[in-house]
Amino acid sequence: MWPFWWKGASGFSARSTAEEVTHGIDGTGLTAIVTGASSGIGEETTRVLALRGVHVVMAVRNTDSGNQVREKILRETHEAKIDVMKLDLCSMASIRSFASEYKSLDLPLNLLINNAGIMACPFTLSSDNIELQFATNHLGHFLLTNLLLDTMMKTAIESNREGRIVIVSSEGHRFAYGEGIRFDKINDEASYNTLQAYGQSKLSNILHATELARQFKEQDVNITANSLHPGSIMTNLLRYHSYINTIGNAVGKYVLKSIPQGAATTCYAALHPQAKGVSGQYLMDNNISNPNSQGKDTDLAKKLWEFSLSLTGKEES
C-alpha cells in the first residue's frame, strides 16, 4: 500500500473515501447487486451507491440485518432506492434461488459487486461439502456471476452502457499456498491453514476477474471485470482471530483504513468515469496496482475456471 497521502494517476489516494471518489457522479438509472451488504465495506458501498442514485439490491444472508441497514440509509437519503434479498453464498441452492428470483423481477443489472467474504475461519465444509472459504469467497461468487451474466449482457446492450463486475479480493492473495490453488486438496483438513486458505480464495477472486475480462474481450461484450484490495480495515472478518482484533483495535487508527476509505476502491471501480474500459486489472487505493505472479497467470485462471465449473455444474447464463 502506498502512503495514505500519496495520490496515484487517478488523483486519489488510500486516504480517499467512497464519497470523495464518487463526488459529482450521477448513478441514476443504474442497478447494482452488492453481496455482503449488511455490514462493513458492503454496507458503506451500498450507502454511497444509493447516495449517487444507483438502485441497489442488497444480497445478504440475514435479511433482518439487511433491512435494518436499508432503513438506516433511507433515514439519511430519503430518495434512495434499495431492496433486500436473501443470498447465502455458501449454498449453491440459495445462489440459484437468488438468481432465479432476481430474474423474475425483470430488473436490469449494470453493476455486480462481489463483496461478501469470510476470513481465516477454522476448517469447515459448506452445505455443498466444499471448504468454506473457497466456497464462500470464490465459488459462490463464481456461480452467482455466471447465473446473472445473461441479465448483465442484456442490460449492457439495451442501455448502451458498460456493465461492470467488481470483485473484492485482498493483498492476502500473496499468502496463499505455495502452489496457489490446491485443486487436488481443496478439502484436505490435515494440511489446512486458515490464512493460506484465505489467500487461496482471494487469489481465486483475482483469477476470476482475469478470466472474465479475457472472455468479455474475446466475445466483444460491453462488460468489464476487475478485482481489488480494499485496504486493511478492522471489520468482523477478523472475528476468528481475537489476537489480531486486539492489536488492530489498539493501533488501527494509526495504520488501518476507516470503512469509508475501505469502500472507496469498490465505488471507484463501479462508478468512476476513469474506470471505463478498464478490465482484468487489480486495483488498490483507487488506482491500478499489481497482484503477484500467480495473480497474473492466465493459464492458472483458465484452469480455475474449468475447475469451478466442474464444482458448480456446467450451467452458465
Instruction: For residue 35, give the nearest of 136, 154, 106 by alpha carbon.
Output: 136
β-pair type (223-229, 55-60): unpaired
Out of 102, 192, 198, 282, which one is annotated catalytic? 192
Whether 177 is catalytic is: no
Task: For Cα atoms 214, 308, 235, give the angle at the middle one, nearest 5 degrees.
Answer: 90
Sign for the CA dihedral angle at 175, 180, 181, 182 comes to negative
State which H helix or E strand residue 56 sits in.
strand 55-60
Residues 276/277/283/288 CA torsion (nearest 10 deg):
-100
Could you tell me the three cell numbers for 59? 444480497
Instruction: For residue 177, give the nearest of 194, 160, 155 by alpha carbon.
Output: 194
* CA dist., res. 212 & res. 225, Å (int): 6
Q: Which residues are catalytic?
A: 192
